[in-house]
Amino acid sequence: MSDAKVTIFTGKKIITMNPAVPVAQAIAVQGDRILGVGTVGDLAQWGDYELDEQFKDHILMPGFVEAHSHVMAGAVWEFPYVGFYDRPDPLGHTWLGCQTIAAVVDRLAECERELKDPDQTLVAWGLDPIFLEGERLVAKHLDQISVTRPIFVFHASGHLATVNSAMMRRSGIDRYTPTPGVAKDFDGEPNGELQEPAAMSLAQDGFSAIGVAMMSSNAKWNYAREARNCGVTTIADLGTTRLTMEGQLEAWREATDDANYPARVVVAVGHFDSNSIVSLAVRLRDEEETPKLRFGIVKLVLDGSIQGFTARISWPHYVNPPPGHPGNGLWLIPPEQLADIVSGYHEAGLTVHCHCNGDEATQVFIDAVELALQRHPRWDHRHTVQHSQMTTAAQYKKMAALGINANIFSNHIFHWGDQHAAVTIGEERAARMDACATAEREGVVFSVHSDAPITPMSQLHTAWSAVNRLTASGRVLGPEERISVAKALEACTLGAAHQLKLDHDIGSLEAGKLADFAVLEEDPFEVSPAELKNIAVWGTVVGGTPHVASSK
Amino acid sequence: MKLSGDLIEVSVIGGYLGAGKTTLVNHILREASERVAVMVNDFGEINIDESLIDSSDENTISLTNGCICCSLVDGFATALESVVSFRPRPTRLVIEASGVADPGTIAAHGHGPGFALDAVIVVADAVRLIEQIADPLVGQTVAGQIRAADVIVLNKIDLCDTLTSVNAELSELNPKALLIYTSEAKADLDLLFGREILRTVSSAGHVGTFESRTHESTQPILRENLEALIKNLPSDIQRVKGIIRLAEAPRIPMVFQLVGRSWDLRALADREKSPEGNRLVVIGPKGSIPIAWDNFLR
Ligand SMILES: [Zn+2]
C-alpha cells in the first residue's frame, strides 16, 4: 500500500450491501477509496490511521445511486416554486405548497418585490391546477401581482404555462394571435394560458428560462446539492443534447473537478442523429472521463407518458382516455427504425437506456436489442429499459435472457397510482405496474428512480414506494408487487450502479471501491417499512470527503 | 405568390418513413425559384442531394442555390430564430417532420412572428399505405398524419396497382385535402405552395392544366361576402390563398388559406410588415376560375 494518510470512520452501524460482509463497525479510507471494512481492530492491520468518530451515532450505507434524473432538478431552483406539495430546495429551505390561488399569488408577489430590474420576467414553476379548488388560475390573477412586469408560470406537467397581461403584451399575444394553444375566453380574448410548446414559445424569455438555467454552473451545483441532501452520491443526468453546445462539457468538468462538488455525475448523451452521437459518446467515454464525471450511455425516448395518454400501451390500451384521444400513445422514434439505431450504439460498445413507459414500447425495445445481439453478439451490454412502468412478466423473462436491465419508476405508484387505476390503464394493470417483485422473480437486475424534477429526488422515497406501494390517497396498489426493504435498498445502490456500469466502483462498501457513503440518522432495516421515506439524512461522503446536507 | 416582403411562408412536410419526404425536399431544393430554408429533424435521415451542397458545418448546410438546411437539435425556437436571421432572408421555410411526428403539432410553430403557415403537406406511399394503416404499431400514426394534411402528395403511383382502394382509403381519412399524384415526389411547386401560375402547368397524373388568377383590392372585405364566395366556389378550385383585411377588424391582416375542401382564416402574427389591402390568388384547372370573382369581394 502507499503511505497516504488512512482515515478510519466509525459508525453506529455500517450497512455494506456486500452479502459476504453485510455489516461492519468501521470503514478505512485512503485517498478516495475504501481500504477495508470491519472493526477498528481488523482495520489496524493496514498500519497508522486517524480515527474519525463524527459518524459514530449514524448509520453508514453505500451512497445511493440515482440512475435517472435530470440536471433540470437543479435548474428549476433558479425560480420560485408554486406547486401544491411542500418541496425542499437544494439549499435546505422547504417551500410550503401553495394550496389555493391566493397562496400562489402571495408567493409570487413576494418574489416580485425582490426583483430589482423592472423589465426582468418573473418565472415560476410547479403549478398544478388540478389540485387547486375553484376557478382556474389565469392572467387576471397574475395581474394582481404586476401589470407591468411580465410573469410566466410553468405548470407541473411541463405542457402548459400561465402568463400575465404584461407578458402577453410583450409577446404580442392578443385576440388575433393565430397560434393554436393560446387559450381564449368566450369572447375571444386570450386568458393567459398557453398550451404546448408552440404557444408557450411565443412568450420566449419565459419559456426558454429553465433551459437557459440548465446550462449554468449553479444548476449543476444545485443538482448535486439536491443529491447530497437525500444521501445520493452518484446521479445520472439521463439524456441531454446540450453536450454539443459550446462550453457545456467544460462547465461540467469545472463543477465536478471541484473538491467541494458533492456528487459523481453520469451524463448520458441524448440520441439525435446516430452517426454524430456515436462518435461523440465514444469520445466522451474514452477521453473525457474523470473520477466524478462519467459517460458511456446513450438515452433514447421511444414513447410518451401514461398520465399524458401518450405512452404506447398494448391492447386493451387506455381505459378512460379523454374525448378525441386516438386510442393509443405516440412514438417518438419510428418503431421499425429502432433496431438500426440501437445496433449503431450497441456495436460501438455504448450502453443504450431507452425510455419505455408503455408495454408496447418495452416490447419494441426488447425486439430491437435482440436483433442488435443477433447482428453483433456482445456480452454484458446492460442496455436498460427506463421507466419500465408496464413491462410484463413475459417481457421481464425475455429481458433477463437478453441481459437487459430495468430502471423502474416506482414513485409513480404514490404520485399517480390512483389516476392509473381509475383513468389510464385500469385496476388490474395498475396493480401490476412498476413491477419490482416480478423483475426480481424473473432475474432482471433493476433499480428504481425519481426522474427528478418530475418527482422530488430521494432514493429513500423511491425505495419506500417500491416496498409499500401506497398511493397519494393511501391505498395499497398491487400488494403482490411489493418488495423487501433489502431488495429495494439493493436496487438503489448496486442495481443502479450495475446499469451505469459502475458497480466495480460504487454501490457497496468493500475494499477497493470508492469511498461514497450515505450518512443516515436511522437504520432502514430497523424502522418500520412505512417510515423508510422519513429517515433523516445527515449528508454524504463522496470519495472520502464528508458533505453535510444543507438542512443540517 | 409571395405573401409580403419580409414574411417567411412555412410548409410542413410530414409522412411516414419511406414515403418520399426527403425525395420531395430534394425536389423542392432543386426546382426552387425562391430562397428556401429547410429544417430537418435528423441529419441522419435528410440525405440532401450531394450535388446541391455547397458547404456544411455543425448544424447548418449551405446549398449552391442559396438555400439553407438547419437542424432541429436545439429545438424549434432556436432553429426558427436562426432562419429569421439568415441573410439574404429566405422567403420559404420547409420543415421536414420525423417519420412518426404529427405534422399538425409542428405546424403550430409556423405562426410565430415573422412566419406565416402555408400548408401541411403529407407524403403518402401509394404502394404501402393500406398495409401501413392496418399495422397495429404504426397504423394510428400514419392515419393521424393523413388526417392532418392540407395537401396529400400520393407518391409512387407508378408502382401502385391498387390505386382505387388507396383513393378510397384517403378520401375516408381526409376528404378535404388537395390530392396530388406523383412518382419520385415530383410535385408541381406552384400547386404545392399555392403560387401564382405564370405558365400553364400540369401535374403528373392529375387531370388537366392549371392556371391562377389574382385579385387585388384596397377596401376591407365583409366577412359574409367572403363566406358567400367560398360557398359558391366551383368544386374543382383547390387552392386559394392570400392576405386580406376584414371590415370588422381592418387593421389586422388576415391570412386566408383554402386547400382542397377546407379553408382557414387567421390573423397574421406580424402586423407591421404585411402589405395594405387585399391580395388573393386562386388556382384551379384551366377555365374553372370564375370571372365574377372580384365582384364577390367588393
Ligand atoms: Zn427522465
Answer whether residue A214 shows pLDDT above 70. Answer: yes
Q: Do A198 and B76 touch (CB under 8 A)?
A: yes
Contacts of B17 in chain A (CB under 8 A): 334, 336-337
- Within 8 A of A275 by CB-CB distance, chain B residues are 43-44
Identify the structural domains of chain A with CATH numbers, from first to last.
6-57 (2.30.40.10), 74-211 (3.10.310.70)
Alpha carbons A187 and A171: distance in angstroms, whole number: 21
3-state class (DSSP) for residue A411: helix
Q: How does residue A552 score in pLDDT terms, banded at 50, 70 and 90?
A: low
Positive or negative: CA dihedral A419, A425, A431, A435? negative
Would you state the pLDDT for residue A312?
97
* Distance, CA of A85 to CA of A105 (rounded, Å): 16
Whether omega for the bond prior to residue B175 falls within 30 degrees of 0, making it cis, is no
Q: Say yes or no for a CB contact (<8 Å) between B105 and A336.
A: no
Question: Backbone phi, then psi, for A520, in 5-degree steps?
Answer: -110, 155
Q: Provide the pLDDT for residue B203.
A: 47
The dihedral built from the CA positions of residue A84, A85, A87 and A93, taken in this order, carries a sign that is: positive
Q: CA A506 to CA A63: how far, in whole Å?
A: 8
Maximum average pLDDT range among A447-461, B189-203, B218-232:
A447-461
Cβ pair B108:A333 closer than 8 A:
no
pLDDT band of residue B274 (cuts 50, 70, 90) is confident
**How far is it, in rounded angstroms, from Cα B212 to Cα B281?**
7
Q: At a CB cut-off of 8 Å and minimum separation 6, what does B72 contact?
A: B39, B40, B41, B42, B79
A333 shares contact with chain B (CB less than 8 Å)? yes
Mean pLDDT of A146-171: 95
Asked if residues A500 and A294 have their Cβ atoms less than 8 Å apart, the reply is: yes
Q: What is the pLDDT of residue B295?
A: 66
Q: Which residues pair with A123 in a beta bridge?
A: A152
Q: Counting Cβ atoms within 10 Å, is residue A81 exposed (0-12), middle (13-18) or buried (19+)? A: buried
**Integer Cα distance of A263 and A352 in angstroms:** 23
Q: What is the band of B204 on the pLDDT scale with cuts at 50, 70, 90?
A: very low
Confidence of residue A547 (pLDDT cuts 50, 70, 90): very high
Say yes or no for a CB contact (<8 Å) between A330 and B268. Answer: no
Average pLDDT of chain B is: 84
Q: Is the pLDDT of residue B46 over 80?
A: no
* Cell numbers 440525405: residue: B47
Strand partners, A184: A190
Class of domain B210-297: alpha beta
Is the pLDDT assigned to residue B256 strictly greater than 80? yes
Q: Which three cell numbers stand for residue A449?
A: 428512480
Residue B66 — pLDDT band, cuts 50, 70, 90? Answer: confident
C-alpha distance from A312 to closest chain B C-alpha (Å)? 9
Domain chopping of chain B, boundaries: 8-193, 210-297
Residues A123 and A209: beta-carbon distance below 8 Å: yes
A493 or B117, greater pLDDT: A493
pLDDT band per the 50, 70, 90 thresholds, residue B197: low
Per-residue model confidence (pLDDT) at position B214: 83
The distance of A310 to chain B (nearest Cα, Å) reads 12
Mutant choice from A195, A312, A331, A363 vs B, greatest count of B C-beta within 10 A: A331
Which CATH fold topology does B8-193 show? Answer: Rossmann fold (3.40.50)
3-state secondary structure A472-531: CCCCECCHHHCCCHHHHHHHHHHHHHHHCCCCCCCCCCCCCCECCEEEECCCCCCCCHHH
Give the pLDDT band (50/70/90) at residue A395. very high
Would strands B278-285 and B239-245 be described as parallel, antiparallel, or unpaired? Answer: antiparallel
Note whether A409 and A387 are within 8 A (CB): yes
Instruction: Determine the pLDDT at residue B201.
Output: 46
pLDDT over 90 at A421, yes or no: yes
What is the distance between the alpha carbons of residues A258 and B192, in angstroms, rounded to a whole number?
57
Q: Band the pLDDT of A32: cuts 50, 70, 90.
A: very high
Q: DSSP 3-state assignment of B98?
A: coil
Residue carrying C-alpha cell 417483485: A437
Confidence bin at B226 (pLDDT 50/70/90):
confident
- Residues of A whose CB is below 8 A from B76: 197-198, 201
pLDDT-derived band at A466 (thresholds 50, 70, 90) equals very high
| Identity at A317, one-letter amino acid code | H
Mean pLDDT of chain A: 96
A309 interfaces chain B, CB cutoff of 8 Å: no
Question: Which pLDDT score, from 0 to 100, does residue A347 have?
Answer: 97
Q: Around Cβ B236, how many Cβ atoms within 10 Å?
A: 12
d(CA A404, CA A366): 8
Cβ separation A177–B269 shorter than 8 A: yes
Q: Please, which pLDDT band fits residue B243 given cuts at 50, 70 and 90?
A: confident
Q: What is the pLDDT of residue A200?
A: 95
pLDDT for res B42:
63
pLDDT of residue A338: 96
- Structural contact between residues B69 and B126, judged by C-beta atoms closer than 8 angstroms: no
φ and ψ of B283, to 5 deg: -120, 130
Q: Percent of chain A beyond pLDDT 70? A: 99
More confident of the two residues B228 and A233: A233
Q: How many CB atoms lie within 10 A of CB A107?
A: 18
Give the 3-state DSSP-derived string for A297-337, with helices as H, strands as E and coil as C.
EEEEECECCCCCCCCCCCCCCCCCCCCCCCCCCCECCCHHH
A275 touches chain B (CB under 8 A): yes
Q: What is the CA radius of gyration of chain A?
A: 24
Judge contact between A348 and A293, C-beta under 8 A. Answer: no
d(CA B276, CA A472): 58
Percent of chain A at pLDDT exceeding 90: 93
The pLDDT, as a whole number, for residue A181 is 93
Do the domains B210-297 and B8-193 match in fold?
no
| Cα–Cα distance measured from residue A161 to residue A149, given in angstroms and rounded to the nearest whole number | 16
- Grid cell 423592472 in the structure block, residue: A118
Q: Is A122 on the interface with B (CB under 8 A)?
A: no
pLDDT tens digit string along B143-174? 999 999 999 999 999 999 999 999 999 999 99
pLDDT of residue B5: 57
Chain B positions touching chain A (beta carbons under 8 Å): 16-17, 42-45, 58, 71, 73-77, 98-100, 102, 105, 108-109, 111-113, 117, 137-138, 140-141, 144, 249, 252, 255, 266-269
* The residue type at B23: T
pLDDT on residue B112: 84
Query: Chain B partners of A197 at a C-beta cutoff of 8 Å?
Result: 76, 109
> Mean pLDDT over residues A360-366, rounded?
98
CB contact under 8 A, A180 and B108: yes
Q: What is the pLDDT of residue B294?
A: 67
- Comparing A39-53, A186-200, B77-91, which segment has the lowest mean pLDDT? B77-91
∠ at Cα A27 (A22, A33), nearest 5°? 105
Give the minimum alpha-carbon distance from A220 to chain B in angstroms, rounded to a whole number. 20
Q: List strand residue ranges (DSSP E) for chain B, in order.
A: 8-14, 36-40, 53-56, 60-63, 68-71, 92-96, 115-125, 151-155, 178-181, 210-217, 239-245, 253-259, 262-267, 278-285
Q: What distance in Å separates the CA atoms of residue A153 and residue A455, rounded to the nearest whole number?
A: 18
Share of residues in chain B with pLDDT > 90 (%): 36
- Lowest mean pLDDT of A59-73, A119-133, A382-396, A399-413, name the range: A119-133
**φ, ψ dihedrals at A12, nearest 5°:** -60, -40
Q: B267: which residues sit within 8 A by CB, 6+ positions away?
A: A176, A177, A178, B252, B253, B254, B255
**CA dist., res. A317 & res. A435, Å (int):** 18
The C-alpha atoms of residue A242 and residue A257 are separated, in whole angstroms, by: 19
- Residue A74, C-alpha cell as written in the block: 437543479
Q: For B76, which of A197, A275, A360 is closest by C-beta distance? A: A197
Q: Which residue of A has its CA nearest to B140?
A: A326
Q: Which residues of B touch A241 (CB under 8 A)?
A: 73-74
pLDDT for residue A358: 98
Give the model confidence (pLDDT) of A283-310 as tens digits: 999 999 999 999 999 999 999 999 999 9
Give the model's pLDDT for residue B52: 78
